[in-house]
Structure 1
Amino acid sequence: MEPLITSVTSEINTNFNLNVVVNEPADTTPCNASADANSVLEYIREPFRMTSLITLPQNGHLPRQPRAQGLEILVIDGDCTDGNTDYPGSSYLRFPQFRDIRSRNGCRLFVKYNQFLPDDEGERNIDTSDPDKWFPGPVDGISIRPLHVFKTESIMLLHWKNACEFRPKLDPQGEEILVLTGLLQNKDQLYKPNSWIRNPVEDWLDWHGSSNTLLYYKSGHFPDHTDLAM
């Protein structure tokens, strides 16, 4: 039987009208015997939604959630497989249905459960390390790697070759950021690797990145449910 997420009992970061910053994600109690750590960044019980940083040991399994449909994964380091295809570090994956993801040698994953927009059936297996797929960004010194676009939702990686500043284009459904390498800064604070940020429109700010900063950047995907803003 595939492992289940069992350690999360309380909802986490449910108000999408508030700015949320997790600078040093804390490892919760291991979610099952197959995962070393599950740092839950957001968890909503109904309608189910979860975002986590998950560390799988050698021969570990990705925790399964019975209600999860869409599965979005960024392989931060290490490697994983679904039994048919191997996914090395720097892979970006999208599966409309849950996959049994395992790691032979251990890996660290950024995982988003059940967050596909309605009718989004797009499956992705992208090697983000391919230099030919990166393009000039919004300002000199920043390059982008598009990952997925569907309706209002846009997902990409942003890489700072040189230290510089830019202001993201406003989106009515917010932005989400995971700092992968380097340092990100705004007028309020400094964000180190593994920092996770979720901003509503009212809190959009200029971002300044140091040389070699790499971000996962997602916008236009906040849930349109008034009950999530309570």
Structure 2
Amino acid sequence: MLVNADFSLRAVVTPRQYHWTPSPQPGVERVMLDRMGGENARATSVVRYAPASCFPRHLHPGGEEILVLSGTFSEGEAHYPAGWYLRSPPGSSHQPSSGEGAVIFVKLWQMQPSESQPVRIDTRDESRWTVRNGRESCLLFSDAIEHVSLERVPAGASVFNGHVEGVELLVLGGGLRERGQEYERGSWLRLPPGTYPDLVADVFGACVYLKTGHLANPAGPAGASC
């Protein structure tokens, strides 16, 4: 399966374009934002857990990255309400569930094999936020290849200053606009290398998940299939 699989092209999915499809597990649905493969795919999705839904324990050979958008997401006895960032390295396993229901942003098979340490960050903790490049930033992960953060962009300010070498973002609060196009909360954008001076925060500002450096090698797992 290929969904927005040409990484040389801009890809945009707004909440009005969300198409919820069932996962293999009852009570769990997803919106496929980009995908290269079947169930063992390099994939970016918004996933919705109905109350009292769960997955059996399973392995993530290529790692998994999660940002909890609403509700509470659980792994066994650990519970993560909205605002938590979870990064589980290649070879990790878990048994996800949600008692009250949850919506999460998920990225699969997009980590380097050398990653070995799990990351758990509560982005609601203001001590994790610093002022960087004139705006508030919460660092989630950074290595020689990729950089992941949450950014609070002031009203009317450009998201990027100058050229970017490919970027992915998810609007978490407020909104963005670009030459008359509005990107409300929940909008996902993947932008190829270029300059984007017209992509600015709206009059209320914006909070965005921002990821760079990971688009140079978008290949999914070998032999991925449905």
Equivalent residue for 1:167?
A: 160
Asked if the contact 1:35/1:54 (under 8 Å) is kept, the reply is no
Change in Cα spacing, 1:193 to 1:126, as seen in structure 2 (3 Å) is: same
In structure 2, which of residues 123, 135, 142 is the aligned counterpart of residue 128 of structure 1?
123
Supply the RMSD in Å over aligned alpha carbons. 2.5
1:1-230 pair list within 5 angstroms? 10-24=1-15, 25-45=17-37, 48-61=41-54, 68-96=61-89, 97-139=92-134, 142-168=135-161, 170-172=163-165, 174-187=166-179, 189-202=181-194, 204-210=196-202, 211-224=204-217
4+ long deviations beyond 6 Å: 63-67
Asked if the contact 1:56/1:62 (under 8 Å) is kept, the reply is no
Secondary structure of the 1:144 match is: strand
| Alpha-carbon distance between aligned partners in 2 of 1:50 and 1:90, rounded to the nearest angstrom | 21
Q: TM-score, normalised by structure 1?
A: 0.83
Aligned length: 215
Gaps spanning 5+ residues in structure 2: where?
Answer: 221-226
Moved more, 125-134 or 96-105: 96-105
| Alpha-carbon distance between aligned partners in 1 of 2:98 and 2:219, rounded to the nearest angstrom | 38
| Alpha-carbon distance between aligned partners in 2 of 1:226 and 1:58, rounded to the nearest angstrom | 34
Asked if the contact 2:18/2:31 (under 8 Å) is kept, the reply is yes
Asked if the contact 1:77/1:89 (under 8 Å) is kept, the reply is yes
The structure whose residues are more often strand, as a share, is 2
Greater relative contact order structure (CA < 8 Å, 6+ sep)? 2
Asked if the contact 2:150/2:208 (under 8 Å) is kept, the reply is yes
